[in-house]
Amino acid sequence: MPESISAGIHDLSFATTEFVLPHTALAEHNGAEIDKYHLGLGQRSMSVPAADEDVVTMGAAAAAPIIERHGTAGIRTLVFATESSIDQAKAAGVYVHSLLALPPATRVVELKQACYSATAALQFAIGLIHRDPTQRVLVVASDVSKYALDSPGEATQGAAAVAMLVTANPSIVRIEAQSGLFTTDVMDFWRPNYRDTALVDGQESITAYLQAVQGTWQDYRAQGGRPLEAFSAFCYHQPFTRMAYKAHHHLLDLNGQDAGQATLRQAIEPTTAYNAVIGNSYTASVYLALTALLDQADDRTDQLLGFLSYGSGSVAEFFAGTVVPGYRDHLHTARNRAEVDRRKPITYGRYRALHEQSLPTDGGDHPTPEETTGRFRLAGIRGHKRLYEKG
Ligand code: HMG
């Protein structure tokens, strides 16, 4: 590809769930001080999927506005990133492909590495575009974060999907070539195939995340990446929004720079608005941070953004992107805000019932209750096959 052609994010949209549980309701149930959630974790509420919502319905809803705006021309690849997989064989993206009526001449694949895999998808997409700049790649990152009831992780749950159209000469963010990588075998967070809730060593996971910040940054610089001063804001993976502050504090310390509250707030606060009310959306989280930043009133034109994508286990990547002039005309700001605001608050009891619910495994015909007012719904399961429909 000629040097003058860049690649990156041309369109960006997200979807979340029908329901929301405020942290006040969780604190009332378990007796925690609300400041632990609001200040200690930086979380105010969590998205809760209805019985007829899952990673497919959220992923399709996130991608639909992109397809409506740009059509399907040039899309020959759909990469679906998730760690909330619904099938061991079939890629969830195939259902999204069907719901969005994408052309049959498309390759569809699902990627997994905890919260990191959407970044792998983005990098793979950029590789494909470098091979053929006429192609566009649809990346969908969709997850439901679920921990055991009454466990410390419960307060960090959430659910959302982000969709990105990755193209040559993008309209929103140009992604730079240098990237810092870090992989190490650590059991900080994992979910064996026989469980629907994650297992986690909370403090170990925070240490492992900070170790990955250091590892990726050192590699990024060794690869010729830019100095810290070049960046104006940082989009971190946000399992809870306070984690982004901890991570950035660590990065500033590593560079011998002042990590005062004002410096931290300036770099991080504008990235937290969606994650603070949605909760951990695993693969989608770092791109929700980007969406929140761009949806803010401040003009980010030509600013350099740092991205830190972390997936437990662990794999992480630090990379940079520049905001493209005119980007604001290509955002879905009003729709994004409405997507968050349309969620219906539920009681703790209703949340608990939804948490304990799972699809029957007997192969029978089981319609799901009609709960979501979203664009797509899981209509039921019949003969072990999931049935989706437009809502
Ligand atoms: P915990 O034991 O419930 O909470 O676990 P804590 O006692 O550590 O308190 C949390 C913070 O609240 C602390 O702040 C307290 O001081 C503060 P810190 O010292 O850390 O700065 N606090 C208060 N602040 C104000 N007023 C109060 C108050 N009380 C306490 N009254 C933990 C917290 C995050 C460990 C838990 O929620 C957990 O296990 N979460 C899940 C794991 C996780 O999110 N790990 C993050 C890094 S790993 C990652 O990001 C990957 C992941 O997304 C998965 C993937 O990759 O797929 C998770």
Domain spans in the chain, listed from the N-terminal domain onward? 7-390
Please tell me the distance from the alpha carbon of residue 9 to that of residue 391, in angstroms, as a whole number.
28
Please tell me the distance from the alpha carbon of residue 167 to that of residue 6, in angstroms, as a whole number.
8
Supply the residue whose CA is at minimum distance from atom 1 of ligand 1: 152
- The ligand 1 atom at the shortest distance from the C-alpha of residue 240 is 44
Supply the residue whose CA is at minimum distance from atom 54 of ligand 1: 312
The CA 45 to ligand 1 mean position distance, Å, reads 15
Provide block-wise average pLDDT over 10 residues at a time, the chain (391 residues): 77 98 98 98 98 98 98 98 98 98 98 98 98 98 98 98 98 98 98 96 97 98 98 97 98 95 96 98 98 96 98 98 98 98 98 97 97 98 98 82
The CA 379 to ligand 1 mean position distance, Å, reads 36
Supply the residue whose CA is at minimum distance from atom 42 of ligand 1: 202
The CA 202 to ligand 1 mean position distance, Å, reads 7
* Predicted local distance difference test score (pLDDT) of residue 8: 98
- Catalytic annotation, residues: 83, 115, 237
Please tell me the distance from the alpha carbon of residue 1 to that of residue 131, in angstroms, as a whole number.
7
Please tell me the distance from the alpha carbon of residue 316 to that of residue 116, in angstroms, as a whole number.
6
DSSP element (H, E) containing 318 = strand 315-323
The CA 293 to ligand 1 mean position distance, Å, reads 23
Ligand 1 pocket (Cβ < 6 Å) reads: 33, 35-36, 39-41, 83, 114-115, 152-153, 155-156, 188-189, 200, 202, 205-206, 209, 237, 239-240, 243, 280, 282, 310-312
Domain spanning 7-390: which CATH class is it, in words? alpha beta
Exposure of 134 by Cβ count < 10 A (0-12 exposed, 13-18 middle, 19+ buried)?
Answer: exposed
CA-based torsion, 350, 347, 244, 209: positive or negative? negative
Residue 360 burial (CB count, 10 A) = 11
